[in-house]
Amino acid sequence: MQPKGSILELCQVVREMDRALDHWTRVIGAGPFFVFDVPVLPGQFYRGQPTEVAMKVAFGFSGGLLIELLQQTNDGPSVFTEMLDGDAQGYHHVMLRVPYDEGVARLSGEGYDMAFSGRMPTGERFALFDTRSGNGGYVELMESSPAMETSLERMHAAHCAWDGTTRPVRSMADLA
């Protein structure tokens, strides 16, 4: 897994999760992917205004890099619909492995705006900054917690033990 200060995750926004999962597992060789539905999370803000975004996400490793596939499942305004409304899908953001407040200070200090934010059901804060002028996408920050680190470790262990074909798509319940 990546050290502090590095890129932890690469996210692609997709229209069809099953098609994306097939591509990433069969063609690219990443995985296995752990899929789950994310309900509207508390306190979501999109460009300073309250919003409600639900999504389906899939997480799987390729080597030490976490790949996230994200399909928004409702019509709430978001940084994801910004891309999809422009008829594009694909690269959306990277997540930095830095302490949340340190990352917010760094990105804000560089003049980037927080475009989407909220809290995970377990309370961790997250934010996506609009850094398209610098890297063509967004940068995500997320507060780390022991539960999140354990999930990442289990996903990475599943990747290291995976034979590349057996059960390429799994439920998050499989991590328990």
In a domain, 14, yes or no: yes
In a domain, 176, yes or no: no
The length of the chain is: 176
CB 112 within 8 A of CB 89: no
Name residues whose C-beta falls within 8 Å of residue 67's C-beta, 6 or more positions apart in sequence. Answer: 9, 10, 11, 12, 24, 30, 33, 59, 60, 61
Q: Residue 106 is part of a domain; what is its CATH number? A: 3.10.180.10
In a domain, 167, yes or no: no
Burial pattern 93-117, b for ≥16 Cβ within 10 A else e, equals bbbbbbebeebbeebeeeebebbbb
Helices (H), the chain: 17-22, 79-85, 100-109, 132-135, 146-161
Terminal C-alpha separation, the chain? 20
In a domain, 28, yes or no: yes
Q: Which of 15, 77, 72 is nearest to 39 (CA)?
A: 72
In a domain, 175, yes or no: no
* Burial (CB count <10 Å: 0-12, 13-18, 19+), residue 59: buried
Residue spans of the chain under pLDDT 50: none
In a domain, 166, yes or no: no
Q: Given this model, what pLDDT does residue 1 score?
A: 60
Q: Into how many domains does the chain fold?
A: 1
In a domain, 174, yes or no: no
At 96 the three-state DSSP class reads strand
The domain of 55 spans 7-161
In a domain, 54, yes or no: yes
Q: Given this model, what pLDDT does residue 86 score?
A: 76
- Structure tokens that stand for 79 in this block: 């940084």
